[in-house]
């Protein structure tokens, strides 16, 4: 086990027993006593022994969302003394220096919203991002292949300096990891995988007192890991992605569908720097060109699975030609600047007179091309006794608006806040009524965004004359109606929880 916190867990049996049984509402000093005895050292590295051990919160999955939750818990006054364990076998979590600034940007990037940036600032992880490659953008242009309309958004439309920032996923993960490493917390990382889980078990009294019969919280969750070790916890957080094992073992059912679309992602290079986020809807799906710093941009190109495997296997030169074609005159004309719906020009937002621009030419492919199948998935329940889901474990969305991990960070923020509120009033943090408050808060926001993204995906999947005109009207509305434009920007930025019509 790689333990990120230099704190001794060699506590006495009595101390452990007492600590673990302290109620969640007790003061932070009591939470210090909830330290587990999981610091057995093996080959110089701490590890779980085969005896069951204990913690307050077990986060299964140390991806961006799981790490964000751990970071938020470690930096909030009421939760900073919780004994938090992150279970993930990803070797990146054991490598202190994930980033080599000489490498071209990784193809896996996220467009993070101003709300996410604020969250990272609040937990003290944004400084790290700013010290590594990232690209703020203050302009966004969206158009489609019919040539009937376009819309350009400016940060100044909502009196902001930026609309968002594009960051490599590994930089976001390292920022959170580094922040936790640099704090005195009780957060540990186990390089293992969840194998099985029993929720609400009566934990037997152990001779070493790790889980005692006298404990008022003896109904705990028990996790068994792939390395044969096991762990008792008050709360299991499933942050283990779209194929969540936690969700499956907890019997939390999902709804959803495959989009029969794949996304190709890669890094490309231009001859000069790009500062705008571009997105063009093509007959098979959108192509996005996102700045990622220096002269690099990231491509997220959605298409049919057959096209995706063809585009992935074509030569690099052919691919560059295909990208430039798709972002320029390919599939249809540029939108004209004439307004085919003059009655829609109700008000003039500051970017209203911005002319359509052609994105900068791509000159080189700078990374491998990676392919991801796309689907929508939503868990019917996010919470049950002693278990809760966050991030892609609870919901996966189409990447067309770059919202997936932003929704996950919203979950992490909300769950951390609800756990604090539970502790403040002395609740057991694994109890259903508390966890359902988190579910109610996040479900409404996540479902609203999912419905909008799914609507966009469907509206742009059909090439049909009247529908094309409707889409053009939508573009013009989004371009020329100031309140609508402002509302769209505020909602996409994460600053407004629901779209204007909800």
Ligand X SMILES: Cc1cc2nc3c(=O)[nH]c(=O)nc-3n(C[C@H](O)[C@H](O)[C@H](O)COP(=O)(O)OP(=O)(O)OC[C@H]3O[C@@H](n4cnc5c(N)ncnc54)[C@H](O)[C@@H]3O)c2cc1C
Residues of the shown chain interacting with ligand X in the complex, contacts defined by CB under 6 A: 60-66, 87-88, 90, 110-111, 193-194, 239-241, 245, 263, 265, 300, 372, 391-392, 399, 402-406, 408
Count of positions (residues) in the chain: 502
Kindly tell me which of 57 and 78 has the beta carbon lying closer to ligand X.
57
Q: What is the 3-state secondary structure (H, E, C) of 115-181?
A: HHHHHHHHCCCHHHHHCCCEEEECEEEEEECCCCCEEEEEHHHHCCCCCEEEEEHHHHHHHHHHHHH
Rounded distance between C-alpha atoms, residue 211 and residue 13, angstroms: 10
Distances 462 to 219, 283, 326, 400, 466 between C-alpha atoms, Å:
53, 7, 18, 16, 10
Q: How far is the CB of 35 from ligand X (least distance, A)?
A: 22
Q: How far is the CB of 172 from ligand X (least distance, A)?
A: 9
CB 162 within 8 A of CB 118: no
Q: How far is the CB of 116 from ligand X (least distance, A)?
A: 8
Rounded distance between C-alpha atoms, residue 313 and residue 319, angstroms: 9
Kindly tell me which of 404 and 430 has the beta carbon lying closer to ligand X.
404
Q: How far is the CB of 252 from ligand X (least distance, A)?
A: 15
CB 124 within 8 A of CB 179: yes
Kindly tell me which of 427 and 457 has the beta carbon lying closer to ligand X.
457
Kindly tell me which of 17 and 53 has the beta carbon lying closer to ligand X.
53
Rounded distance between C-alpha atoms, residue 437 and residue 426, angstroms: 16
Nearest to 492 by CA among 403, 361, 397, 400: 403
| Dihedral (CA of 301, 305, 307, 311) sign | positive
Kindly tell me which of 33 and 265 has the beta carbon lying closer to ligand X.
265
For residues 67, 70, 75, 79, the Cα torsion angle rounded to the nearest 10 degrees is: 170
Kindly tell me which of 67 and 484 has the beta carbon lying closer to ligand X.
67
Q: How far is the CB of 191 from ligand X (least distance, A)?
A: 9
Task: Please give the DSSP secondary-structure letter assigned to residue 205.
Answer: P
CB 222 within 8 A of CB 215: no
Q: How far is the CB of 354 from ligand X (least distance, A)?
A: 23
CB 363 within 8 A of CB 270: yes
Q: How far is the CB of 399 from ligand X (least distance, A)?
A: 4
Kindly tell me which of 148 and 393 has the beta carbon lying closer to ligand X.
393
Q: How far is the CB of 174 from ligand X (least distance, A)?
A: 13
Kindly tell me which of 111 and 188 has the beta carbon lying closer to ligand X.
111
């Amino acid at each position: 086990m790689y333990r990120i916190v230099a704190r001794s867990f060699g506590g006495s049996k009595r101390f452990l027993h007492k600590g673990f049984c302290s109620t969640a509402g007790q003061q932070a000093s009591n939470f210090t006593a909830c330290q587990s005895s999981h610091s057995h050292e093996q080959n110089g590295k701490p590890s779980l022994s085969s005896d069951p051990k204990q913690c307050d919160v077990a986060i299964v999955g140390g991806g961006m969302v799981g790490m964000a939750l751990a970071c938020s818990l470690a930096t909030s006054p009421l939760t900073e003394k919780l004994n938090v364990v992150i279970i993930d076998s990803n070797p990146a979590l054991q490598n202190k220096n994930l980033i080599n600034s000489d490498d071209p940007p990784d193809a896996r990037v996220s467009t993070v919203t101003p709300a996410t940036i604020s969250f990272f600032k609040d937990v003290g992880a944004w400084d790290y991002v700013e010290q590594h490659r990232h690209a703020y953008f203050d302009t966004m242009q969206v158009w489609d292949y019919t040539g009937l309309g376009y819309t350009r958004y400016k940060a100044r439309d909502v009196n902001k300096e930026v609309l968002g920032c594009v960051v490599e996923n590994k930089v976001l993960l390292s920022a959170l990891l580094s922040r936790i490493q640099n704090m005195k917390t009780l957060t540990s990382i186990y390089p293992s995988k969840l194998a099985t889980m029993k929720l609400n078990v009566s934990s037997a009294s152990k001779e070493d007192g790790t889980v005692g019969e006298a404990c008022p919280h003896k109904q705990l969750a028990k996790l068994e890991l792939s390395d044969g070790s096991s762990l008792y916890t008050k709360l299991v957080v499933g942050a283990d992605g779209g194929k969540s094992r936690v969700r499956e073992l907890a019997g939390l059912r999902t709804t959803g569908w495959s989009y029969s679309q794949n996304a190709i992602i890669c890094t490309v290079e231009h001859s000069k720097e790009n500062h705008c986020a571009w997105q063009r809807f093509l007959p098979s799906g959108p192509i996005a060109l996102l700045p990622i710093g220096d002269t690099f941009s990231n491509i997220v190109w959605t298409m049919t699975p057959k096209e995706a495997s063809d585009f992935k296997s074509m030569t690099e030169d052919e691919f560059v030609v295909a990208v430039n074609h798709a972002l320029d005159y390919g599939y249809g004309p540029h939108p004209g600047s004439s307004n085919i719906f003059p009655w829609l020009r109700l008000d003039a937002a500051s970017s209203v007179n911005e002319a359509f621009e052609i994105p900068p030419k791509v000159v080189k492919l700078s990374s491998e091309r990676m392919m991801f199948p796309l689907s929508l998935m939503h868990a019917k329940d996010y919470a049950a006794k002693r278990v809760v889901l966050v991030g892609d474990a609870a919901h996966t969305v189409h990447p067309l608006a770059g919202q997936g991990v932003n929704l996950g960070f919203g979950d992490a923020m909300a769950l951390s806040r609800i756990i604090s509120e539970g502790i403040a009033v002395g609740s057991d943090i694994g109890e259903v009524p508390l966890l359902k408050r988190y579910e109610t808060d996040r479900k409404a926001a996540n479902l609203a965004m999912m419905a909008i993204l799914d609507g966009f995906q469907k509206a742009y999947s059909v090439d049909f004359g009247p529908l094309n005109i409707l889409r053009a009207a939508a573009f013009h509305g989004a371009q020329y109606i100031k309140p609508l434009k402002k509302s769209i920007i505020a909602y996409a930025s994460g600053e407004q929880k629901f779209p204007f019509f909800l």
